[in-house]
Amino acid sequence: MKVVVTRRAEEKLERAYDYGYVNFGLSAVVRLQEELEERLLDKNPLGYRYLILLKTFKLIYYIDTESSSVIISDLWDVRMEPSSLVERTLSGNNQ
């Protein structure tokens, strides 16, 4: 199955990797990447799904069965104010 990452999610993943590298070292970045790869295709109900990574990030994605792709739509730092995620989602700005 192909994994597709939206521009927003890609930017946020890169920032998370950079932050993890600077503050916690390469091993933290590797752990985040490994956990992402291991858990991304876990069986979940249809629709939007999420993974909690390193107790800090919520990766939001869905599976497009027509194209056999995983679409990663966002990466959320769970320490942030939840209303900003709602505002961002309602604005439709997910590219």
Residues 15-40: pLDDT tens digits? 888 988 899 899 888 888 877 776 66
Specify the pLDDT at position 2. Answer: 67
- Euclidean distance between CA atoms 51 and 90, whole angstroms: 21
User: What pLDDT digit, counting tens, does each position of 40-52 carry?
Assistant: 655 555 577 888 8
What is the pTM assigned to this prediction? 0.50
How would you classify residue 4: left for phi > 0, otherwise alpha for psi between -120 and 50, otherwise beta? beta
Query: Around Cβ 69, how many Cβ atoms within 10 Å?
Result: 14
* Sheet with 69-77, edge to edge strand ranges: 2-5, 69-77, 57-64, 49-53
Number of Cβ within a 10 Å radius of residue 74: 19
